[in-house]
């Protein structure tokens, strides 16, 4: 092996290592109101921790719509759709407030309503939120969800359709 070949291989190895390090150190922000860190990459995986809008996590790897993340609370899996590369800043009055999010951006990013949007919809007397409010209060334990899926002939360990 010539000196030029050795230098090329060494340079290539260093670049590959730096690339792997850069992926391993990718910081992400939670872009939904709340998400769970799970032990396995499935919505039925054991919940290890709860993250809220704006929390920062270190992404370690991605797999079929799931991101393995490390947080101060736990290391586990989060749905990739709950994360954004954009840093979310929620500190009003801070010097970097221009890079923060407006209330409508928070509502959109959180995939939900803020108080102003909800108030606008509630003014429409033709809309009835009784059942929406009731559904929001339903709580199901993971074992109940698994039983429901199995009764319907679905295998929760296979995840969703691709």
**How would you write the pLDDT of the chain (162 residues) with one tens digit per residue?**
787 777 777 776 776 666 554 444 689 999 888 899 999 998 888 899 999 888 999 999 998 889 999 988 899 999 998 888 888 776 655 554 445 555 555 555 554 566 777 777 778 778 787 887 788 888 878 888 788 888 888 776 655 443
Report the pLDDT value the prediction gives residue 39, as an integer from 0 to 100.
92
* Boundaries of every domain in the chain: 25-157
Confidence (pTM):
0.47
Q: What is the pLDDT of residue 134?
A: 85
**147 to each of 38, 41, 155, how far by Cα in Å?**
19, 19, 10
Decide: 78 and 36 in contact? Cβ < 8 Å. yes
* Runs of H (alpha helix) within 78-162: 103-109, 115-123, 130-137, 142-151
Task: State the Cα–Cα distance between residues 5 and 10, nearest whole angstrom.
Answer: 9
DSSP state of 150: H
Q: Which residues contact 155 (CB under 8 A, 6 or more apart)?
A: 149
Task: Report helix, strand or coil for 30.
Answer: strand
Residue 59, pLDDT score:
92
Output the pLDDT for position 97.
47
What is 25-157's CATH number? 2.30.30.40
pLDDT of residue 88: 79
């Amino acid at each position: 092996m010539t000196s030029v070949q050795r230098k090329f291989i060494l340079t290539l190895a260093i670049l590959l290592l730096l690339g792997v390090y850069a992926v391993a150190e990718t910081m992400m922000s939670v872009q939904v109101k709340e998400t769970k860190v799970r032990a396995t990459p499935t919505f039925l995986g054991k919940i290890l921790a709860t993250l809220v809008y704006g929390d920062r996590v270190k992404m370690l790897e991605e797999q079929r719509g799931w991101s393995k993340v490390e947080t101060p609370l736990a290391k586990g899996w989060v749905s990739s759709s709950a994360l954004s590369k954009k840093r979310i800043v929620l500190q009003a009055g801070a010097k970097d407030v221009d890079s923060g999010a407006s209330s409508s951006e928070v509502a959109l990013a959180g995939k939900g309503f803020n108080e102003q949007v909800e108030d606008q919809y509630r003014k429409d007397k033709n809309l009835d939120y009784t059942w929406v409010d009731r559904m929001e209060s339903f709580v199901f334990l993971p074992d109940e969800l698994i039983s429901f899926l199995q009764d319907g002939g679905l295998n929760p360990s296979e995840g969703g359709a691709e």
